[in-house]
Amino acid sequence: MNEKLSMDQLGRMTPEQFKEAQKIPIVLVLENIRSGLNVGSLFRSADAFRVKGIFCIGYTPVPPHREVLKSALGATETVEWEHREDATALIHELKAAGFTCCAIEQTSNSIDLSKFQHDPNIPLALVLGNEVDGVSQSVIDACDHTLEIAQHGTKHSLNVAVCGGIVLYALSGISDS
């Protein structure tokens, strides 16, 4: 029989244990995301993959926004986050701190996510953009790379929260284990 596991059987850490646990060296940079539900979903993915933190840029909703809390299901209490106004300035700051910065966007020189080679000891900043306009050109220009998820249907993009989950799965090292 293939029984669904109970919450106790999953053996998840407490929020206190999460805060003390080692994080993977990835931060998400959410540039002008409109939907609090998308932001909350990204907080849940950040918790699931135990990333270092989230930067909410510009008008991206932040906790305790009702929609963020609704879809985050408590992840806003575990994942460190910060609000900033200027994504380009943040990218320059992160690069100066040793991060490799990657915009998740379709560009003339984007790298297929499945082909991106990265040293897991170098911290990554992953920029996810607005649901309609994507990552701004000034941020793309400031980043080291643009990464793209191959798509084979009629739509030209994925929902930003779905995209963030896929990219975190691929780059967190969990998919390699």
User: Tell me: the pLDDT tens digits for 46-98?
Assistant: 999 999 999 999 999 999 999 999 999 999 999 999 999 999 999 999 999 99
Which tokens is 126 given?
Answer: 């992953």
User: Tell me: the pLDDT tens digits for 128-139?
Assistant: 999 999 999 999
**Domain coordinates in residue numbering, the chain:** 22-175
CA distance 139 to 151: 23
Per cent of the chain over pLDDT 90 is 95
* Model confidence, pTM: 0.96
Closest to 25 measured CA to CA, from 78, 94, 117, 109:
94
CB 151 within 8 A of CB 142: no
> How large is the average pLDDT for residues 157-177?
89
Which tokens is 160 given?
Answer: 């930003």
Strand partners, 82: 55
Residue 161 has pLDDT above 90, yes or no: yes
Average pLDDT, the chain: 96
Residue 176 has pLDDT above 80, yes or no: no
* Per-residue confidence (pLDDT) for residue 2, from 0 to 100: 95
* Per-residue confidence (pLDDT) for residue 7, from 0 to 100: 85
- What is the CATH number that goes with domain 22-175? 3.40.1280.10
Q: Where are the beta strands (DSSP E) in 35-129?
A: 51-57, 81-84, 100-104, 111-112, 124-128
